[in-house]
Amino acid sequence: MMLPASSAATAQDTALMTPRTTPASKSHRPWHLLSDYCTCLCFVYRTNGQCFAIIEEDENGDVILSSGCMKYEGSHFQCKVRNFAQTRRTIECCQFDFCNRDLKPELPPRDTEPPDPHWLAFLISVTVCFCTLICVTVICYYRYKWQTERQRYHRDLEQNEAFIPAGESLKDLINLSQTSGSGSGLPLLVQRTIAKQIQTVRLIGKGRYGEVWLGRWRGEKVAVKVFFTREEASWFRETEIYQTVLMRHENILGFIAADINGTGASTQLYLITDYHENGSLYDYLKFTTLDSQALLKLTYSAACGLCHLHTEIYGTQGKPAIAHRDLKSKNILIKKNGTCCIADLGLAVKFNSDTNEVDIPLSTRMGTRRYMAPEVLDETLNKNHFQAYIMADIYSYGLVIWEMARRCVTGGIHWQIFFVFHLGIFLAIAKKTLYVCCMYSNSCISAKYCPIPYINGKLIYSAFR
């Protein structure tokens, strides 16, 4: 049946405005390979709109190609859109009859494309090479710096050799400083030279302040006390006390030198003294028994050293009175001749008779609680009265005599530290304070602690009064 002309025209216009799409199975091929791609051609003069060609990707990832005609309303706006948020789609438009057959839109590139493996390998290689170059540069720099400091160190040693002639011993240098110097020890330049030339051999002790090493200087044995950095105040104080004029005494540990050794990353505080292989009195009493003569020799020599500390020497180059404040068996060393010498002066206080003032160190260290006097334990000590510090030292010295007397074989009593029987080895400060203060107020000492007749009533009793 033949349709009217107007109806035929309307049907033809509808067909021209309906887009046609290519099969999805063939849409992945390039435009010039899509032989069955058919454009829906349109007559612009009929629609007064635009011809279009569109390519898009559906939810399954298939590419769909389509073309057709758009009406005038909204055609200009739709043809201007280039990016679509939800799907990959590209549309191209033209305004001439049958012009959409020449349009070939392309899909936009994906937002996240997988990286090229070759480019990733190149990037990793460059990063590794750069890090390796930095590490090698840093190592070479520090090695060069270390070699430079080492050469300077040896050069300084060679220059400093002129200050200490070859063949000079420590005893010769010390005697020379006593006769021709100020009496305060070796010159600072000589001290620094000795400190740089000392070689540490092995560790012989360790405490709360630092470590003690056996060292050698030109074949002579010395003790090297290395302070922790946080104990700089103790190192400075002990060095200051040792360098006091007229401080040297046979019953006080011989001071040799003090120096600060900086290695760049850390700082070591050196205090170099005489070396005594018998060690401290505490260790000596563990393995050695005493007879009456040895006991008297130890107590007398320790008393001489303590007396020299407490005594003020008047004169142009005088010596101030000094109180130890940490006297105990671990701070008393045993010499080869069986006598004592007092060591560890990091907590010592000095008395200036001209101004009547007590020079108290800034160190936060405290003495050993077991050896503290009752007035120190209950904090009733008059810190502005120097005689109170001397009395506290005498109390501690009496407890040291107690230790030595218990090691004497005449009484047949086994050696032990005082208060061990009553309080144990590790005692609390509150418990010890209560016990010591009560015992001090009663002033009673058992006769079994005084087995030697001529010590009974002379040394121990006087030490506790």
> pLDDT tens track of the chain, all 465 residues?
333 434 433 444 444 444 444 444 333 434 433 333 444 566 666 667 788 888 888 878 788 888 888 777 766 777 776 655 567 788 888 887 778 787 888 877 776 656 667 788 888 889 999 999 999 999 999 888 888 777 766 565 555 555 555 556 566 666 655 555 555 566 666 777 777 788 889 999 888 888 999 998 878 899 999 998 888 888 889 988 988 888 889 999 998 888 887 655 677 889 999 999 999 999 999 989 898 899 999 999 999 999 999 999 987 778 899 999 999 999 999 999 999 999 999 899 999 888 888 988 876 667 888 899 888 888 888 888 999 999 999 999 999 998 998 888 765 555 556 555 555 554 555 454 555 555 554 444 455 545 555 555 544 444 444
**Superfamily (CATH) of domain 152-275:** Phosphorylase Kinase; domain 1 (3.30.200.20)
pLDDT at site 322: 95
Nearest-angstrom CA–CA distance, 251 and 394: 16
DSSP state of 371: G
pLDDT at site 35: 34
Helix/strand number for the chain, H first, E second: 14, 14
CATH topology classification for 279-465: Transferase(Phosphotransferase); domain 1 (1.10.510)
Answer for the pair 439, 398: CB distance below 8 angstroms, yes or no: no
Task: Name the nearest CA neighbour of 261 among 233, 216, 227.
Answer: 227
Tell me, yes or no, if the pTM score tops 0.85: no
Specify the DSSP element, H or E, that contains 224. Answer: strand 220-227
Nearest-angstrom CA–CA distance, 405 and 424: 19
Answer for the pair 380, 257: CB distance below 8 angstroms, yes or no: no
Identified catalytic residue from 326, 344, 354, 359 = 326
- Known catalytic residue: 326? yes
* Domains 5-102 and 279-465 alike in fold: no
Going from N- to C-terminal start, the domains of the chain cover 5-102, 152-275, 279-465
Assigned token pair, 55? 């390519």
pLDDT at site 23: 44
* 171 appears as a binding residue in the annotation: no
> Which residues are within 8 A (CB) of 183 and not within 5 positions of it... i.e. 6 or more apart?
177, 245, 246, 247, 248, 317
pLDDT at site 389: 94
Nearest-angstrom CA–CA distance, 340 and 400: 12
- Beta strand spans in 43-95 (E): 50-57, 63-70, 89-94
Question: How open is the CA angle 189-350-186, to the nearest 5 degrees?
Answer: 15
Placement of tokens 């190609």 in the chain: 65
Q: Is the Cα dihedral 271, 277, 281, 286 positive or negative?
A: positive
DSSP state of 18: S
CATH topology classification for 5-102: CD59 (2.10.60)
Q: Specify the amino acid at residue 342.
A: I
Q: Is the Cα dihedral 368, 373, 378, 380 positive or negative?
A: negative
DSSP state of 408: B
Assigned token pair, 32? 């010039």
pLDDT at site 460: 46
Question: How open is the CA angle 387-433-280, to the nearest 5 degrees?
Answer: 70
Long-range contacts of 18-21 (CB under 8 A, 24+ apart): 18/68, 19/52, 19/54, 19/66, 19/67, 19/68, 20/66, 20/67, 20/68, 21/64, 21/65, 21/66
Answer for the pair 57, 87: CB distance below 8 angstroms, yes or no: yes
Task: Name the nearest CA neighbour of 346 among 210, 189, 192, 456.
Answer: 210
pLDDT at site 153: 60
Residue 53 burial (C-beta neighbours within 10 Å; 0-12, 13-18, 19+):
buried
Q: Specify the amino acid at residue 6.
A: S
> Which residues are within 8 A (CB) of 311 and not within 5 positions of it... i.e. 6 or more apart?
319, 321
The CB-side HSE value for 206 (13 A sphere, CA atoms) comes to: 2
- Beta strand spans in 132-217 (E): 199-206, 210-217
Nearest-angstrom CA–CA distance, 388 and 375: 9
Nearest-angstrom CA–CA distance, 447 and 34: 123
